[in-house]
Structure 1
Amino acid sequence: MPQDARSRARTRAPKRRSRGPRVLLIIALLVVAAFGGGWFLWAGPGPAAQELSVVVPEGATLSRAAGALEKAGAIHSRQTFLAFARVFGRGGTIRAGEYRIEPRTSARQILAMLQDGKTLQRLVTVPEGMPAILVAEALAKAPGLTGEAKVPEEGSVLPDSYAYLRDEPRAAVLARMQKAMTEYLAKAWGMRDKGLVVTTPREAVILASIVEKETGKPAERTTVAAVYANRLKAGMPLQADPTIIYPITKGKPLGRRILQSELRAKNGYNTYAMRGLPEGPIANPGRASIDAVLHPAQSKALYFVADGSGGHVFAETYAQHQANVAKWYAIRRARGEM
């Protein structure tokens, strides 16, 4: 090709357009919009007149989240929200979850919540020693959950507070509770003391559930566990009152004194009328009670009775125990309880 033709071809070749002018134009338009009221829609009070709850699904884009916010009445405009978010947002992704939007929260504040993942924490709590029937009731009453959950197997749930999302199935939350117990029990069992009277993880849970019901004082748990371990080794009945109550109420409070007929009842739980462990747990024991059974105190005690202060006094012989019982009766008479 002749030199002059090549020069003309180079002259006619189209130039690449710079993206700079376009970005500047967008910024200029936003500035104009800001002075025209757009900035108020971004940084000013939001339209929510009352507290709102908005769910951002897993994997949702900012555009989809903005649509949900607009539909709920948390922002004025999806388009305005996205435009300002692209320029003034910190970048990065948003986090899924349920968000509580307070009245008049600005669009700018809402974006920060989405990016920081400040989700609404819904909790269902299982206290230590809660029986399975009450776990099912707690799940049934928890607001925002869906579906039903069966009464779990006794002793299969680890007491704790469990976070959940709105519209999450109750069965899924229960499964997490049971998985937590399975994992903790496996870990604790692997670190147990040697020569224990319990020979399986299930036996550990059964005995731990009795310890859980017998004392509310953390410092006593290992000694109570030692008493029951000593009685099992000696072939003595456990004589644990909570095991009498369990087949009557399934772990709920009895609300009265135990009857003599109930002390003589023949069933798989009455540790006054049988030797050894009951046929199953009587509650869902917490970590501390499980640990107490797997690491009992070095004690020869075989008996314990209330001491009047919320704790117990322990004894190695029946004579010592009888003296302690007499003191407890004297305290109760002084209180007008007998």
Structure 2
Amino acid sequence: MWRHIAANTLTLLIVLVFLTGGAILYGQSQYNGPGPLAQAMCLKVDRGSNFSRVSRDLAAQGAISSAPIFRLGVDYGDKSGDLKAGSYLIEPGSSMAEIVDVVTRGGASTCGTEMVFRIGVTRQEVQLRELDPQTNRYVETAAYDPTAEDAPAEIAALFDNPADTRIRVAVAEGATSWQIVEGLKSVPVLTGDAEVPAEGTLAPDSYEVRKGDTVKSVLDRMVAAQERILAEAWEGRDADIPLDSPEEALILASIIEKETGVAAERGQVASVFVNRLRRGMRLQTDPTVIYGITKGQGVLGRGLRQSELRRATPYNTYVIPALPPTPIANPGRAAIEAAVNPDSSRFLFFVADGTGGHAFAETLEQHNRNVAEWRKIEAERANQ
């Protein structure tokens, strides 16, 4: 009888082992395998939340097949204390393991509400946007010009308590250092003041900020980024360019940035100025003259006068036979790379062509024909 009991006990233990092993394998396959989510979703994790709440939310939205298995996987991976507040884009078919990685990795929110402070060359704008998980595109829900109007209620409510809203400062290529500082000072979530950095030393880009960050800390990040970009570009420069230093490259890049907003033209515009420098010709570019008048503090708002084109100033490239003494704006990476690696051409002139781009010419005769064509386009537009 004892032998029979022992045999049955052994059999039961073997069955339990197999069942336990099968359950473990099943749990692992559910945790690591593709999940049931059919369409992308935005998962919001509130501050003070926990994985029990998150698992229930995921299960309710059809993102995971089992809340208990999800929580067991979190505990087994020793990540129960790593949950980060934020809004996270969960892709279709994401496994439980992938979701846990997303919500414990931290960093910027990848979906939900985003507030963008845009600092442009001619204007500023604040946008409130919401990511549509299905299209992975942001949809604008509110916007305003902080220099001309009060913030809409839905945006103003976030200034004091941005919660998990992602906040970005987006700086346009070609903005001056004064414009950038003034723009940052109008961002309510930033604190403090700062001196205006040297022209050209700020990298135009998108910078994530948090409530309580200082204006100076954001500027410091921009300066560090521009230093890296300039150093990398100078290291890979064309050895034949007539530029003696990274600082001269930055000056030329700022002129290129102000002369064209067409990406495909930057190399050609750069080639015109490089060819002129090689021949000792004056650069004759209006943006430098304008900077000499405004000092980068706003836009001129009118055309240049003949007296201004004739007046001798350090920035009047119709008079000085060289680069101006400093950059005239903050150029982006593409303009810097064009300055140090321009297209190979024989172009010496360019003028607007009426399409937003420019007509290039090798000779003054060709250029005069292009100018006449542009004057004709201007006259036709004036009569419309």
1:90 counterpart = 2:74:
yes
Distance 1:305 1:115, change over 3 A: same
**1:269 matched residue in structure 2:** 315
Moved more, 250-259 or 193-202: 250-259
**2:243 matched residue in structure 1:** 198
Q: Secondary structure at the match of 1:305?
A: strand
Alignment of 1:63-102 (within 5 A): 90-91=74-75, 92=79, 93-94=81-82, 99=86
Picking from 287, 294, 297, the partner of 2:343 is 297
**1:31 matched residue in structure 2:** none
**2:379 matched residue in structure 1:** 333
1:227 counterpart = 2:275:
no
Q: Secondary structure at the match of 2:382?
A: coil
Distance 1:331 1:219, change over 3 A: same
**2:27 matched residue in structure 1:** none
**1:179 matched residue in structure 2:** 224
Q: Secondary structure at the match of 1:90?
A: helix
Paired with 1:192 and 1:337, the residues of 2 have a C-alpha distance of: 47
How big is the shift at 1:165?
Answer: 1.7
- Match of 1:259, as an amino acid? R
**1:154 matched residue in structure 2:** 199
> Gaps spanning 5+ residues in structure 1: where?
1-50, 55-64, 67-86, 101-111
Residue pair 1:131, 1:282 contacting (<8 A) in 2 also: yes
How big is the shift at 1:99?
Answer: 4.7
What does the per-residue CA deviation read over 1:121-145, in whole Å, with 9 as the maximum and x for residues that have no partner? 2111111111111110121122311
1:188 counterpart = 2:188:
no
- Match of 2:287, as an amino acid? P
Residue pair 1:126, 1:161 contacting (<8 A) in 2 also: yes
The alignment's TM-score, normalised by the length of structure 2, stands at: 0.60
Higher RCO (CA-CA < 8 Å; seq separation 6+)? 1
Paired with 2:285 and 2:368, the residues of 1 have a C-alpha distance of: 17
Q: What fraction of aligned residue pairs are identical, expressed as a percent?
A: 46
> Gaps spanning 5+ residues in structure 2: where?
1-43, 50-70, 88-99, 110-164
What does the per-residue CA deviation read over 1:207-230, in whole Å, with 9 as the maximum and x for residues that have no partner? 000000001111110010000011
**1:21 matched residue in structure 2:** none
**1:286 matched residue in structure 2:** 332
Distance 1:148 1:52, change over 3 A: farther
Q: How many residues align?
A: 250
Distance 1:254 1:320, change over 3 A: same
- Match of 1:160, as an amino acid? D
Cα-Cα RMSD = 2.8
Residue pair 1:306, 1:328 contacting (<8 A) in 2 also: yes
- Of structures 1 and 2, the larger Rg is shown by 1
**2:259 matched residue in structure 1:** 214
Paired with 1:306 and 1:127, the residues of 2 have a C-alpha distance of: 22
Residue pair 1:139, 1:149 contacting (<8 A) in 2 also: no
Paired with 1:190 and 1:205, the residues of 2 have a C-alpha distance of: 13
Residue pair 1:131, 1:250 contacting (<8 A) in 2 also: no
What does the per-residue CA deviation read over 1:261-299, in whole Å, with 9 as the maximum and x for residues that have no partner? 211222211101111000000000001101111111110
Q: Secondary structure at the match of 2:197?
A: coil
How big is the shift at 1:88?
Answer: 7.9
What does the per-residue CA deviation read over 1:54-100, in whole Å, with 9 as the maximum and x for residues that have no partner? 6xxxxxxxxxx67xxxxxxxxxxxxxxxxxxxx8893524367x757
